[in-house]
Structure 1
Amino acid sequence: MKQLKKEYLSKKVQDLKPSGIRKFFDLAAGMKDVVSLGVGEPDFVTPWTVREAAILSIEQGYTSYSANAGFLELRKEIAGYMNKQFNLTYSPQSEIIVTVGASQAIDIAMRAILNPGEEVIIIEPCFVSYSPMVEMAGGVPVHVQALKENDFKILPSQLDAVITEKTKAIMLCSPNNPTGTMLNKKELEDIAMIAIKHDVLVIADEIYAELVYDEEYTSLPSVEGMRERTILISGFSKGFAMTGWRLGFVCAPKEMSQAMLKIHQYAIMCAPTMAQFAAIEALQNGRSDIIEMVKSYRRRRNYMVQSFNEIGLTCHSPGGAFYVFPSIESTGLSSEEFAERLLLEESVAVVPGNVFGESGEGHIRCSYATSMDQLQEAVKRIKHFISKLER
């Protein structure tokens, strides 16, 4: 077959790098007896009442489009949930859009605010999609490194130093993927001062907001002066164990929300209706399930942090999400070398830290969203791997 001309493809897409996470998933897929700490999704099954609500909607024939922004009933439930849990007030009619996962919400946010050449500050280590989404929207990602000596918490002075007249927004994720780092109220207030000082927007990815362990969660738009300049991204994947349902939402002031809705209308039409019925049930009756998941994650987090530190891989205690981000610098291996050898020699899949940005080098991301038995087996194999390196 004749090879396709490169000229047929967008230069922008040609220049995009494939996901570094996918490489290791593909390697692990062909192997037996792999213990995977790589996948960023809950090991819990979506609660039965939530699944039942979706099944019932199908049986009753609710298979048509919803409103572009999502069922009004669901948007009202989201508004009520955000008010009760995070002390936020959004209009269901004009300030909330139901999206196909939180990733689509980030995509339409970027496309709604960016003009060609405008900059978005990306705090690393970060989710692998942020920079490509900025680039696909015509913007320029500007990377700033949150350092391990600060437990991967960004300092306001670091943001202040990189903001220019071209800066349009700061991309902020708390709790963070991949580090699990969570910013407290004072730290968010300090970041807010920088955003207000320079009159820039913040896109706040709060998809892990329900999964916090040591202190009360503060949502960025609840900080004084930030509601009017924050696009809040969230969804049902992590806290409600609904990854495969592909349902997220975005909350933003009316002008920004309506701009995003125009893109959503043309690109997506609406989120799947069956998933929306499931989400209504999750918001109405799913809080107890979240509490039980958080208890389990907290036990696993404590076990993984203690285990890595005992092995000699320094690991800070994450405040949220379901990842630990231990340092592997003591081994002398790069993060990619470590991850590849660990997979091939011990059949344990982790994600090398460098795929999350330069500041992730020297670390690996390990998800503890798997059973305690699997975590214990993984630790056993990692300990054996480290002992071989020390010989």
Structure 2
Amino acid sequence: MKKREIFAGAERMDSTSSSLIRVMLDKVRAMKDAGKTVIPLVAGEPDFNTPEPIKKATIAALEANFTHYGSNRGMPELREKISKILERDMGVHYDPATEILVTCGGAEAINNALLSTISAGDEVIIFSPAFVSYENLVHLAGGTVVSLPLKEENGFQIDLAETEAHITDRTRMIILNNPCNPTGVAYHREILEGLAKLACKYDLLVFSDEIYDRLTYDEPFCSMASFPGMRERALIMCGFSKTYAMTGWRLGYLAVDKRHMDYILKFHQYSSTCCPTFLQIGLANSVDLPETEAAVKEMQKKFKERRKLIMEQLDKIPQIHYVRPSGAFYVFIDVSDTGLSGQEFSERLLEEKLVGTVPGIGLGKECGDFVRLSYATSNENILEATNRMANFVKSLA
């Protein structure tokens, strides 16, 4: 066996790709640093500030010297609050002592759940397009990705018959992101219910990324854990980054049946040990305050207004079409009628009109005609960016 070259990295990294979202973010930052007036519609990051009560409570926790190791599972005070939030929003109770794990952001929660659950040879169904982490982590775990493309003509909703047709005796898990990044689609309740029935019928786990659970616009959010038989099968990931504009705080969590927790906790112990204690205490002391909830509702209102605005502006560009987003803060636009691929469209739009977007090919190999836009930015930015986009499309004629 030939010795591996020292700069090559582990073999498992050979099938791991870099995030095209991060590549585009780096390009935007470099252009901004060079003095160019770039409008970024790239990042899935609210442009609001973290609510004041959370910041003040965290400063108080820091001054009270919550600066030492905390529980691997997360500070009990925060786990208690998470349990109450989940019961309020999902109607499902998770024991804060044994069934909730606080993680360093949603990213660590995804890592912990997938890498501690999937074994070599396991098949994992992923609906495409999808957030970049899922496929790469399945590869890192030695699993096999079974990619099921979602169709624009079906509103990017899940086809249950097609899903069942791809379940084999090696299928271990279905990965779900609801509402979906990048399509902005919230899955219909009857589809989620059907997916739950498949999971029970074939004895499957469902990893459900519900980070956008409070950002739905057309119908109430529905958690996978709320269906019969799913509390023990669903690995629920959520966090505070999107709802509370706390992306830089890096606080997420997993809610799972206690029979899953031992192996997930073991993985967590060797990845991050615990999250900063003063952040957890500050959030625990403020997340359910009326002032905090008022700030969240104001952000929800603004996102809904921005969704309406960006759709109105995109509707003025006849060469672009999209599925109406019903959650999160993304629009997944089909640019094939412009004569450009999504990659070409995104790159030229940035270079020629200084508008940053994400090529759809980075979110699914079948998505070469698409570009993801994030409307987690101001109305002024949305108007200017879509105006530049309209001018760019006209220049292609």
2:130 matched residue in structure 1 = 126
Q: Determine the C-alpha separation between the residues in 2 that align with 1:315 and 1:21.
A: 20
Using the aligned pairs only, state the percent identity: 39
Per-residue Cα deviation, 1:77-105 (whole angstroms, up to 9, x for no partner): 00001101221110001000000111111
Aligned residue for 2:259, secondary structure, equals helix
Q: Determine the C-alpha separation between the residues in 2 that align with 1:157 and 1:359.
A: 20
Q: What is the aligned counterpart of 2:321 among 276, 289, 314?
A: 314
Give how far 1:153 is off. Answer: 1.0
Note the 1:58-97 alignment, pairs <5 A.
58-97=62-101
With 246-255 and 16-25 compared, the bigger mean Cα shift is at: 16-25
Contact 2:15 2:136 in 1 (8 A): no
Aligned residue for 1:240, secondary structure, equals coil
Aligned residue for 1:208, secondary structure, equals coil
Contact 1:184 1:217 in 2 (8 A): no
Per-residue Cα deviation, 1:222-264 (whole angstroms, up to 9, x for no partner): 0112111100000001011110000000000001122211111
Per-residue Cα deviation, 1:326-367 (whole angstroms, up to 9, x for no partner): 110110111000000000000000001111002322111100
Q: What is the aligned counterpart of 2:262 among 253, 258, 261?
A: 258
Q: TM-score, normalised by structure 2?
A: 0.95
1:218 aligns with 2:227: no
Contact 2:20 2:362 in 1 (8 A): yes
Label 1:282 to 1:358 Cα distance change in 2 as closer, same or farther (>3 A): farther
Give how far 1:174 is off. Answer: 0.4
Give how far 1:40 is off. Answer: 0.8
Note the 1:264-303 alignment, pairs <5 A.
264-285=268-289, 286-303=292-309
2:5 matched residue in structure 1 = 5
Contact 2:208 2:224 in 1 (8 A): yes
Q: Determine the C-alpha separation between the residues in 2 that align with 1:51 and 1:208.
A: 22
2:20 matched residue in structure 1 = 20
Per-residue Cα deviation, 1:27-84 (whole angstroms, up to 9, x for no partner): 2222210000001110011011101111111111110011110011110100001101
Note the 1:27-176 alignment, pairs <5 A.
27-31=27-31, 32-176=36-180
Contact 1:115 1:139 in 2 (8 A): yes
Q: What is the aligned counterpart of 1:338 among 333, 345, 348?
A: 345
Q: Determine the C-alpha separation between the residues in 2 that align with 1:7 and 1:117.
A: 28
Q: Determine the C-alpha separation between the residues in 1 that align with 2:262 and 2:58.
A: 28
Give the partner amino acid of 1:318.
Answer: P
With 248-257 and 12-21 compared, the bigger mean Cα shift is at: 12-21
Report how many aligned residue pairs link the two structures: 387
Q: TM-score, normalised by structure 1?
A: 0.96
Give the partner amino acid of 2:11.
Answer: K
Give the partner amino acid of 1:153.
Answer: Q
Q: Determine the C-alpha separation between the residues in 1 that align with 2:123 and 2:166.
A: 10
Contact 1:96 1:251 in 2 (8 A): yes
Q: Determine the C-alpha separation between the residues in 2 that align with 1:382 and 1:148.
A: 22
Q: Determine the C-alpha separation between the residues in 1 that align with 2:91 and 2:333.
A: 34
2:235 matched residue in structure 1 = 231
Q: Determine the C-alpha separation between the residues in 1 that align with 2:308 and 2:367.
A: 22
1:378 aligns with 2:385: yes
Per-residue Cα deviation, 1:189-226 (whole angstroms, up to 9, x for no partner): 01111111211110000000011111111111001121
Contact 1:118 1:166 in 2 (8 A): yes
Structure 2, gaps ≥5 residues long: none
Q: Determine the C-alpha separation between the residues in 2 that align with 1:194 and 1:215.
A: 23
Q: Determine the C-alpha separation between the residues in 2 that align with 1:350 and 1:380.
A: 14
Structure 1, gaps ≥5 residues long: none
Give the partner amino acid of 2:53.
Answer: T
Give the partner amino acid of 2:341.
Answer: S
Give the partner amino acid of 2:15.
Answer: D
Aligned residue for 1:305, secondary structure, equals helix
RMSD after superposition: 1.3
Per-residue Cα deviation, 1:165-195 (whole angstroms, up to 9, x for no partner): 1110000000000011101321110111111
